[in-house]
């Protein structure tokens, strides 16, 4: 019996749930992209479906190599999310009419400040941070399943 556990029981059950989520959202995204005629979205969502299928294949056939496409693509997306978060924070600080404008006193007295831009940057940063956190957690679950499967195979 495996001692590897995640939030939903066995680590392989967690990887299988992630596989189903990737398959479901990839299929929904593929259908939406086909209806909208979005070529890059079609390719992206088709790859998501293939990668979700690879996780399911790895889990059912006990072949750890099936986890690798997800691990590689998820690591790339985690890196992109993290860079985007840093860039949004830098832009919120450096862009005129955002955070830097709040911290400077120009001596004009009354001034109109539109906080919508700042709140938009902060909201996008929070959304990206949440997506990054979920992606990291999913990656860790699949990586632990990969490690466990690799240890069982040896």
pLDDT of 68-104, one tens digit each? 999 999 999 999 989 988 888 887 777 655 555 555 5
pTM score, two decimals?
Answer: 0.76
Write out the residue range of the structural domain in which residue 147 sits: 8-153
Identify the CA nearest to 124 among candidates 101, 79, 92, 96: 92
For residue 22, give both structure tokens.
């990737």
> What confidence score (pLDDT) does residue 96 get?
59
Q: What is the pLDDT of residue 6?
A: 67
* Residue 58 contacts residue 105 (beta carbons within 8 Å): no
For residue 101, what pLDDT is reported? 55
Collapse the DSSP code of 3 into the 3-class scheme (helix H, G, I; strand E, B; otherwise coil) and give the result. Answer: coil
Would you state the pLDDT for residue 107? 59
Is residue 10 a contact partner of residue 4, using CB atoms and an 8 Å limit?
Answer: yes
**Tokens encoding 75:** 């690591």
Q: Note the pLDDT of residue 11.
A: 80
**Dist. CA 42–CA 142, nearest whole Å:** 25
pLDDT at 21: 92
Closest among 33, 58, 61 to 47, alpha carbons compared: 33
Q: What is the pLDDT of residue 23?
A: 92
Nearest-angstrom CA–CA distance, 127 and 125: 6
- Does residue 3 lie within any of the structural domains? no
Q: For the chain, what is the domain count?
A: 1
Kindly give the parts of the chain with pLDDT less than 70: 1-8, 95-115, 117-118, 152-154
Pairing of strands 9-10, 5-6: antiparallel
Beta bridge partners of 26: none
Query: What CA–CA distance (Å, rounded) separates 152 from 154?
Result: 6
Q: Does 102 reside within a domain?
A: yes
């Amino acid at each position: 019996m495996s001692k590897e556990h995640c939030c939903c029981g066995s680590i392989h059950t967690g990887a299988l749930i992630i596989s189903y989520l990737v398959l479901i959202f990839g299929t929904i995204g593929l259908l939406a992209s086909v209806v909208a005629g979005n070529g890059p979205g079609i390719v992206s969502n088709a790859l998501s479906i293939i990668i979700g299928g690879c996780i399911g294949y790895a889990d059912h056939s006990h072949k750890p190599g099936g986890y690798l496409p997800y691990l590689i693509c998820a690591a790339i997306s985690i890196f992109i999310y993290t860079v985007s978060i840093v860039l949004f924070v830098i832009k919120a600080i450096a862009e005129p009419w955002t955070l830097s404008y709040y911290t400077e006193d120009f001596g004009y007295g009354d001034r109109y400040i539109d906080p919508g831009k700042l709140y938009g940057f902060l909201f996008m940063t929070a959304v990206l941070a949440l997506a990054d956190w979920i992606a990291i957690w999913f990656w860790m679950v699949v990586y632990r399943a990969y490690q466990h499967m690799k240890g069982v195979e040896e």
